[in-house]
Amino acid sequence: MRLKEYGLTEATWRPLLHLSKFEAPPRQTDLAESLSIEGPSLVRLLDTLERDGYVLRCADADRRTKTVRLTARGETLQRKIAAVVAETRGQVLADVSERQLAVAIEVLEEVQRAIQTLSIS
């Protein structure tokens, strides 16, 4: 994908994109859940993104948790990521009708619900 030109891997661009989906800076646990990854994996990603100046971790009202927010540099990069993702989505789905897409989403959501009800860890 074109995001490699920004020095990003899928693991590093996804958190930046997901941060934009929250109305307020999310707790690290909420961001990990949004990304469907474990907390320790997110911590390693955030270490990299914070070192590179894209995010800041701040103490929450509950001092045991931290929230994550984009820096100005991170916001700029996030907008570029969103544009690339939107363009790529448009190219990939160009020949898929709205009806087909709706059915596919419905099926995937049903599969996800079924997986969540399983109690295997």
- For residue range 86-103, list pLDDT tens digits in order: 999 999 999 999 999 999
Computed on alpha carbons and rounded to an integer, the radius of gyration of the chain in Å comes to 16
Residue 69 sits in a domain whose CATH number is 1.10.10.10
Domains held by the chain: number: 1
Question: Does the pLDDT value for residue 121 go beyond 60?
Answer: no
pTM beyond 0.95, yes or no = no
- Whether 47 maps to a domain, the answer reads yes
Would you say how long the chain is, in residues?
121
In tens, the pLDDT along 44-85 reads 999 999 999 999 999 877 777 899 999 999 999 999 999 999
103's CB contacts (< 8 A; 6+ apart) are: none
59's CB contacts (< 8 A; 6+ apart) are: 66, 67
- Whether 102 maps to a domain, the answer reads no
- Whether 100 maps to a domain, the answer reads no
Looking at every residue in the chain, the average pLDDT score rounds to: 90
Give the confidence band of 7 by pLDDT, cuts at 50, 70, 90. confident
Which residues form the domain of 66? 2-94
High-pLDDT (> 70) share of the chain, %: 97
